[in-house]
Each structure stands twice: as C-alpha cells, then as structure tokens.
Amino acid sequence: MRSSLLRAAHAPTELGMKIAFVTPRYGEEVMGGAEGAARSLAEHLVADLGHEVEIYTTCAIDHLTWADVLSPGVSQLHGVTVRRFTSAAGRDPKFSDLDARIRVAPSSRSIEDSVAWVAANGPVSESLVEALGDCDADVVAFYPYLFYMSVHGITRVRQPAVLHPAAHDEPSLYLPIFQRVFDSADAICFHTEAERSLVEPVLHTAATDQIVLGLGTGQASGSGRDGAAILGIAGRPYLVSVGRVDEQKGSTMLYEYFVEYKKRHPGPLALALVGPVSRPLPEHPDVVAAGIVNEADKWDIVAGAEVAISPSAMESFSLVVLEAWVARRAVMVNAVCGPTMEHIKASGGGLSFEGYLSFEVTLERLLGDAALREHMGEQGARYVASRYDWPVLIRRYEAFLESVVARGRRSEVKR
C-alpha cells in the first residue's frame, strides 16, 4: 500500500498499511467506551491483518480527572505501539459550571467559548498534538470527536484523517468548533445508522466519504462458572448491567428503578452492576456493584443473568448489548437511545423502556416468560453473527482505510 520510503524505514509488514489512532486514553485499564473500541480495532488490524498500528494517547486512565498515572514514552501492548504523552492539564475544576452554561443553546456559542470548553474538558496535551505533525502513518484515525487531541490534531496531520465520532445527542455536538473538526476529516466511520443520522444534519457531513461499521464482538469466553456465585449471591436470579457505573450512563436511574421494582415485587431477584464505578451507589441488599472483573468472570456473569439491561441514553454503539446477545441473553434498553434501539429493532433481541412503569411491566413480562427470553437471546445472537463478526468487520474497515489512503489528504479545513 505504502509507496514512500517511509515504508522501507518501518517495514514491519510487507504490504500492510501503517495506521495511527489518536485517543485520549488507552490500555487494558480502560474498559469499554470509544477508547476501548479504538483498542479493539487497533489490535485486530495487527493480529488479523498484519498491519502496523501505533497509538497517540496520554498517560491518563481516569476520564474524570485525566491525571497522568502511566509513564510517558513508547511501549508495546498486544503488538500495538503505544506512544504516551503527558498532559499540561486534566479536567478543569470549573468544567461543570462551563458545561452547564453551554448546555443552553450550544450552537450559538462562539468558537472561543467552544475552544475553552474543549480545554476545560481535558486532557490538554500539546506535546501529543505536536507529535502528530511528525507522524509517518499512512492514515490517522481520531477516536472520538470530543477531545483536545481530536479538535487540534485533526488539522495538524498531513495524512488522510479518519474521524470516528462516537457521537451521542449531547449539547457539545452542537458547539461550533466541531464543525471545523468534521470539516477537516477526509472520512468518517460511524458506529450505527442512528449515529450517522444524528451527525449528518447537524454537521453537514453527507458528502464526506463514510462507512457505518460498528464494532466486532468476541466469542463468549467464560469459564463455565456460576455467575451468581461469582457475584456472591449464589442461588439467586439476577439482572446484569455491564458498563461504567455513572449517573450519565443511567446507572442511578437503573438503581432507583430496581429498588422501586423490588419494593413492589419482593423476592430473591438481584441486580448486578459490572464495571468501573465512577459514582458509588447506596448499598442495598439486592444490588451488587461488582466493579471491574476479568473477562472470564464478565462472560460468566452475563451468561447467568436473566436479562441484561442497558440503561444509558447516551450510547454511540453499545458493545455490551451485543455481548449479551453473544451470551444469548434477552436485553432491555433505554427507549431514547438511538443506537441500542437500532440494535433491538433490527434483531428482535430485546425490549425497551421509557420510564418506570414501562420498566416494570417490561421486566415482569421478560422474567415471566422464559421462552420469550430464550427467543430474544437467539435472535440477538443471529444478528451479531451476521453483522459484527470480527473477520468480516475488520476486512470492511481495512478496505475503507485503503480507499481513504488512495484518495489522500484533501485539505486541512474544507471550508
């Protein structure tokens, strides 16, 4: 693919591309989200197709502080070269106030306000952005759109730039600075049709080269242990919600809904929350906050659940919904979340709720009908196998990147 002398200088593969990903945090400590998606794509490009991949990222793990906790410099992770840069600033303590202000009519904010918001959101790593100017990859992928390195880096690179927005319907999407970011992308890779439909009319991206890709799912890799036993609630039926335990991800709502449900439906049913805890929830005898668990335990816990629930309204893809279907579990999703609704409509693998009463009635229906749950789990598994099998998906991504490289960098800012 590469014809320049740079290929000879690196030459880890004979015919492969060199792809750079730019993402605010990266590593095994980072669970799910856009950064986890970037890692999955990077590792599959290396392992399955033999391309060379390097990551430009910070030393942060915590998305709330962006504090530097990992060492700067170059390291290797599963065949991927990771270049870490320190940050001059993490999350600004005044960010919440600034964020609250821009929530009112964000599209009418000035570029200066937008730039200030991006900087306050953090992490601010000018050294990372500077380094992108010397990047010798064939193509640079920015993942997601929202952070300093995407905003300032996408105009800095000389190579074709692919933007993975991972956008939700959030006020920041309408900040004027992001029009420049999307204008500077040579191509866009969306997670779902819902994400594309959201972004297109807001940022006028229709003529930009694009693909709706999604993410691949792995095989269920549990060890066959009893999920309830792993959670310390052996013998009890339980619901599971995998993902960051965070108010913005709907965890507080799910907790409150479940507690109300249990008041009205006493019994052994429990709720397991699996994932890093950003905001601790009150202790409750029927709620288990398992925190971060290893992959095998995660799959065993999901496989043992009666129903998997995705309470978040702010998803751009939701790998955890697909993983629940790999484990043949029925799912319940938030009815105002476009991407997860797209998944359940296309698959028939689950139901949705849009308030407490519909949560209660839907859950009663699923828990009371094992055949329906089994049917939905099977439908979901078929959907995942047909669309998000890694070998197929990573080839599509490769073909897309090749076409982007072939077309070359159009301009730094198109208009």
Residues near other proteins (CB under 8 A): 103, 105-107, 168-174, 183, 200-202, 204-211, 247-250, 252-253, 256-257, 260, 312-314, 334, 336, 338, 348, 351, 354-358, 360-362, 365, 371-372, 375, 378, 387, 396, 399, 403, 407, 414-415
216 near 286, Cβ under 8 Å? no
Q: CA–CA separation, 384 vs 299, rounded Å?
A: 16
Q: In whole angstroms, what is the distance from residue 321 CA to residue 395 CA?
A: 23
Q: Which CB sits closer to other proteins, 23 or 192?
A: 192
CB neighbour list of residue 108: distance below 8 Å, 6 or more residues apart: none
Cβ atoms 84, 75 nearer than 8 A: yes
Strand order in the sheet with 187-190: 73-77, 80-85, 52-58, 18-22, 139-142, 161-163, 187-190, 209-212
Q: What is the DSSP letter of 145?
A: S
User: What values do phi and psi take at 379, rounded to 5?
Assistant: -60, -45
CB of 333 to other proteins, least distance (A): 13
Cβ closest to other proteins, residue 174 vs residue 238: 174
Rounded to the nearest 5 degrees, what angle is found at the Cα of 127, between the Cα atoms of 121 and 128? 70
Instruction: Note the helical H segments in 25-74.
Output: 33-47
Minimum CB distance to other proteins, residue 408 (Å): 10
Cα angle value 212/276/327 (rounded, 5°): 55
Residue nearer to other proteins on the CB measure, 360 or 412: 360
CB atoms under 10 Å from CB of 101, counted, come to 13
**Shorter beta-carbon distance to other proteins: residue 50 or 348:** 348
CB of 235 to other proteins, least distance (A): 29
Smallest separation, CB 364 to other proteins (Å): 8
Query: Could you tell me the smallest distance in angstroms from the CB atom of residue 341 to other proteins?
Result: 12
CB nearer to other proteins: pick between 125 and 241: 241
CB 85 within 8 A of CB 108: no
Report how far apart the first and last C-alpha atoms of the chain are (Å, whole number).
29
In this complex, which beta carbon is closest to other proteins, that of residue 1 or of residue 77? 1
Nearer Cβ to other proteins (102/124): 102
Q: Confirm if 279 and 244 have CB atoms less than 8 A apart.
A: no
Which 3 state secondary structure label does DSSP give 244?
Answer: coil
The distance of closest approach from Cβ of residue 205 to other proteins in the complex, given in angstroms and rounded to an integer, is: 7
Kindly state the smallest distance separating residue 62's Cβ from other proteins, in Å: 20
Q: Which is nearer to other proteins, 6 or 399 (CB)?
A: 399
How far apart (Å, rounded) are the C-alpha atoms in residues 177 and 118?
A: 9
Task: State the nearest-atom distance from the C-beta of 379 to other proteins, in Å.
Answer: 8
Q: How far is the CB of 168 from other proteins (least distance, A)?
A: 7
Residue 357 CB, shortest distance to other proteins, in Å, is 5
Alpha-carbon distance values, 13 to 26, 102, 147, 181, 297 (Å): 24, 47, 31, 31, 36
Give least dist CB 6 to other proteins, A.
Answer: 24
CB-count burial class (<10 Å; 0-12, 13-18, 19+) for 228: buried
Tell me the C-alpha distance between 385 and 32, whole Å: 20
Nearest to 329 by CA among 349, 351, 354, 353: 349
Give the nearer residue to other proteins in terms of CB position, either 233 or 239.
239
Choose between 216 and 338: whose C-beta lies nearer to other proteins: 338
In this complex, which beta carbon is closest to other proteins, that of residue 56 or of residue 317? 317
